[in-house]
Amino acid sequence: MTDETRVRVSVDSRARPERVFGVLTDWPRHREWMPLTRAEVTSGDGRSPGSHLAAFTGLGPLGFVDTMEITGWDPPNQVTVRHTGWLVRGTGTFQIVARRTGGSTIVWEERLRPPFGAAGRLGWELARPLGEAFFRLALRRLARLSDRPG
């Protein structure tokens, strides 16, 4: 078993890549599509490498903060972050791929190093189906939000 675990999910959207990328990287709007999560820019402009983000996931005061640094910025195709917190560490990448028939495919990939060594990796493997379902739900919500005019 390696120290890293990988999760990759994708959904289709009727929206053009520019629209999806714009909604995806409007960090305060994360609460509209990412369940139980709100995000904010903590330094930089939020639209370039070196900018920092913080996302709180939870209910009320119960949850955790995922701190991130934008390491890749290629609108409207891709944004990559490095997770820098104690609980979530690794990289996350969103790719928006134009479809020949119109619209786009949104791909979310996380390469994570779970905390707590072997126990954390085993816990992640047991929780993987729930994690993938959570990510897929979020992407479906992002696609629906992107599909709306505005």
Angle at 15 between CA 13 and CA 20, to 5 degrees: 90
pLDDT of residue 117: 78
Total length of the chain = 150
Rounded to the nearest angstrom, the gap between the alpha carbon of residue 95 and the centroid of all alpha carbons in its chain is 10
Tell me the pTM.
0.91
Every domain of the chain and the residues it spans: 5-34+70-147
Percent over 70 (pLDDT), the chain: 98
User: Tokens at residue 71, please?
Assistant: 């390491």
End-to-end CA distance of the chain: 45
Q: What Cα–Cα distance (Å) separates residue 46 from each residue in 71, 89, 95?
A: 11, 19, 17
Return the residue matching tokens 């709007």.
29
Question: In angstroms, rounded to a whole number, what is the distance separating the alpha carbons of residues 41 and 60?
Answer: 20
Question: In angstroms, rounded to a whole number, what is the distance separating the alpha carbons of residues 69 and 63?
Answer: 20
CATH 3.30.530.20 fits 5-34+70-147, yes or no: yes
The tens digit of pLDDT for each residue in 79-121 reads: 999 999 988 899 999 999 999 999 999 999 999 888 777 887 7
* Position 22 pLDDT exceeds 90: yes
* Position 49 pLDDT exceeds 70: yes
